[in-house]
């Protein structure tokens, strides 16, 4: 995949587990680090550190501040990111290999809170 984050940003993303249903990526960066554009499928994101970052997709930008230990849903999307804070970012992404929902395009940039049950 040409826009796979492991290929576009190998210094930031690594595969820690993969099977026929999911792929788990680890992401690490330092303050000021920026990624090149890449695509995520529908994913669950688990934050292992607290961080601030700016996500950019085309002409849209969103600033995100997350605490360590949060779990968020990430709709399939293409974006780039920049660590805008003073701390390192450490995240796990559990990427789903099932086909994405039939949305024409993602209407939200960045991670979403998971619904409590």
Measured distance CA(5)–CA(46) in Å, rounded: 17
DSSP lists the bridge partners of residue 91 as 27, 47
Identify the pLDDT of residue 2: 77
pLDDT at 94 over 90: yes
Band of residue 104 on the pLDDT scale cut at 50, 70, 90 = very low
Count of alpha carbons within 13 angstroms of residue 104, beta-carbon side: 0
Domains and CATH numbers, the chain: 5-99 (2.60.120.10)
Alpha helices in the chain (DSSP H): 5-8
pTM: 0.83
**Res 106 pLDDT > 60:** no
- Please, are residues 42 and 84 in contact by the beta-carbon 8 Å criterion? no
């Amino acid at each position: 995949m040409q826009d796979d984050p492991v290929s576009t940003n190998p210094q930031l993303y690594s595969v820690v587990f993969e099977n026929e249903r999911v792929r788990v990526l680890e992401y690490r960066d330092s303050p000021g680090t920026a990624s090149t554009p890449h695509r995520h499928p529908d994913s669950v994101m688990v934050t292992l550190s607290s961080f601030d970052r700016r996500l950019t997709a085309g002409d849209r930008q969103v600033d995100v501040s997350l605490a360590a230990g949060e779990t968020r849903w990430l709709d399939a999307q293409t974006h780039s990111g920049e660590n805008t804070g003073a701390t390192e970012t450490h995240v796990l992404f559990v990427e789903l290999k099932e086909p994405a929902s039939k949305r024409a395009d993602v209407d939200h940039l960045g991670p979403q809170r998971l619904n409590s049950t």
